[in-house]
Structure 1
C-alpha cells in the first residue's frame, strides 16, 4: 500500500515557512481567537495580512533557532510535497522554570492595551505548566492540520513522535488543549486535569479593552497531562498528580530520582 503522508522534522527556514502557512490556514477554519494573540493583522488591507504572515515566519524561525528544546514536525503529502499538518514538541531534560513562572511578553503587538491584554492571557495559559511541570518533560505547544486533510491520521503521526520520545526518555508530557484536539490527545494517554478559563476583567476599562476582549478572548483550554509511560494505575492505585511530584533533580531516563521519589522508594511505593 502506497504511503500517502510522510512525517519530517523541520531544519530549514523554507520548511518553517511552510509550517507557518499551515498554522495560518488551520486557525481560520474554524476561526480560533487564540491564534490572533500570536498572529495579529495590524490593518484591514490584503497587504496588512501578508505583512503579518511574513513577520510571523521570521519570528517563529528566530525563536526556533534560539531554543534548543524546540522540535518542529510536519507531515508532507507525498503527491504534492506540500506540508499539510504540523506540531511543535519541546523536550526539556531539566526544569525549564527554575525561577518560577516567567513573565511572558508579546512584543509583536504594538505597545498599548492590545499588547497588555494578550500578555495577560498568555501568562494565564502558561502559569499552571510553569508551576507544576518542573521535572523533565515533553510539551506540545502547537498542533495544526489543513482543513482539507483532517481525519486522515495526520494528527496521530505528529502525536506518535512525541509519545515515542517521552517513553524513550521515561518522562512526562503536558499540553494546553482546545476542545477540538482533546479526543486525539486522549487516544495517546493524556487526561484532562482541569479547565483554564481566562479572567480579563479590570476596573475602568476603555472601549479598546472591551473590543479586544470581545474579539480575542479564547475559549477555555484544558490542561492535559500524561504520566511517565502513560501509566495511570500502579498496583491498583492512581498516580500522583503533577502538583504532588515535586521538583526533579539530576538526569532523565531513571538514572537519578527526585527527592520525593527517593523517599517514596524507601517506603516501597515508588513507580
Structure 2
C-alpha cells in the first residue's frame, strides 16, 4: 500500500469523509467515550444517525474555528483512488491553555436532551479533561483524536500519524499529552516516548440520580482511559519526572 499524509481543512467538503471514518473506527471496536460527542448507541433510526453525523461534523468544525492551533491531518491510500485510511486531530498550545486570561466556553453537550442525560455526559467530559487541565498548564501539544480505518489497521499508519505529531512537537520543543482509551494502545504510544500515568475509571455519580441519568450510566459504563505524557523530544534524561506525582491524589480529585 502507498499512503500519503497531509493537512485537511475542516471547512472543506472532504472533511465529512474524515468524520465518517472517525465514526466507523470508533464503532469497531465500540468506544464509550466517543459517545460524549456522538449520541448513537446502536439502536437509533437512520434519521437519528444522520442528524448525529451532521451535528458531529459541525461540532468538530467549530473546534477548529475556535482554536487556530487546532489541526487535522489525514492519510489516504494513493493506490485506491485516495481512499481515506486514517485521521488525527491535535492542538498546539504555545502558552498555558488554562491560564487565568483564558475564558471558558459553555461546552455542555447540547446534542443530548436537557436533563439527566446531558448532565451525565457533561460530568463524564469533565472527568476526561481533568488530568490535562490539572497537569498540563503550560505549552504543549495535545494529541486529541486519532484513528485508523478498520481495513488499514496493522499497516503502520498509527505510527506514521503519531510520528508526525511528535515530529511537530519536537520542532517546537514542546511536551505532548494524550489520553489512551485502550490498554492495547499504551505500548504503541510508549514507543513514541509517551509515559502512562494511571488508569482513570470515569464514573460520574450523583447523590439522587433520576432515571435519565441511570439510563445513560448503563449505556456509557464502563469508561476508562490512561493519561499519557511525553517530555520534550521524547528524552527521558536523569531527573525528568512526569507532571503527576501522587496518583492517589489525582484519583480522588478528578
Output one character per residue of 1:27-49: Cα deviation in whole Å (capped at 9) or x when no partner.
11111111111111398311111
Q: Which residue of 2 aligns with 1:95?
A: 96
Cα shift at 1:219: 2.5
Rounded Cα–Cα distance in structure 2 between residues aligned with 1:19 and 1:120: 27
Q: Which residue of 2 aligns with 1:73?
A: 73
Instruction: Pick from 162, 180, 199 the counterpart of residue 159 of structure 1.
Output: 162
Q: Which residue of 1 aligns with 2:45?
A: 45
Instruction: Pick which of 34-43 and 138-147 moved more.
Output: 34-43
Rounded Cα–Cα distance in structure 1 between residues aligned with 2:91 and 2:77: 24
Q: Give every structure 1 segment of 4 or more consecutive aligned residues whose post-TM-superposition deviation is greater than 6 Å.
A: none
Output one character per residue of 1:152-207: Cα deviation in whole Å (capped at 9) or x when no partner.
11111110111111111111000011124222211101010122112322222222
Q: Contact 1:101–1:131 (CA<8 Å) still a contact in 2? A: no
Q: Which residue of 2 aligns with 1:13?
A: 12
Tell me if 1:219 matches 2:217: no
SS in 1 for 2:169: helix
Cα shift at 1:101: 10
Tell me if 1:137 matches 2:143: no
Q: Contact 2:116–2:211 (CA<8 Å) still a contact in 1? A: no
Q: Which residue of 1 aligns with 2:150?
A: 147
Q: Contact 2:178–2:228 (CA<8 Å) still a contact in 1? A: yes
Unaligned runs of 5+ in 2: 246-254
Cα shift at 1:76: 0.5
Instruction: Pick from 114, 128, 131 the counterpart of residue 128 of structure 1.
Output: 131
TM-score, normalisation: structure 2 = 0.88
Q: Contact 1:174–1:225 (CA<8 Å) still a contact in 2? A: yes
Cα shift at 1:128: 1.3
Tell me if 1:188 matches 2:192: yes
- Relative to structure 1, the CA distance from residue 6 to residue 33 in structure 2 (aligned partners, 3 Å threshold; closer, same or farther) is same
Report the RMSD for the aligned CA atoms in angstroms.
2.0
Rounded Cα–Cα distance in structure 2 between residues aligned with 1:216 and 1:161: 32
* Larger CA Rg, structure 1 vs 2: 1
Cα shift at 1:19: 1.0
Cα shift at 1:89: 1.0
Instruction: Pick which of 52-61 and 220-229 moved more.
Output: 52-61
Q: Report how many residues are paired.
A: 239
Rounded Cα–Cα distance in structure 2 between residues aligned with 1:218 and 1:62: 29
Unaligned runs of 5+ in 1: 245-271
Rounded Cα–Cα distance in structure 1 between residues aligned with 2:179 and 2:22: 17
Q: Which residue of 2 aligns with 1:230?
A: 234
Rounded Cα–Cα distance in structure 2 between residues aligned with 1:182 and 1:238: 23
Rounded Cα–Cα distance in structure 2 between residues aligned with 1:105 and 1:181: 29
Q: Which residue of 1 aligns with 2:57?
A: 57
Q: Contact 1:34–1:218 (CA<8 Å) still a contact in 2? A: no
Instruction: Pick from 98, 115, 118 the counterpart of residue 115 of structure 1.
Output: 118
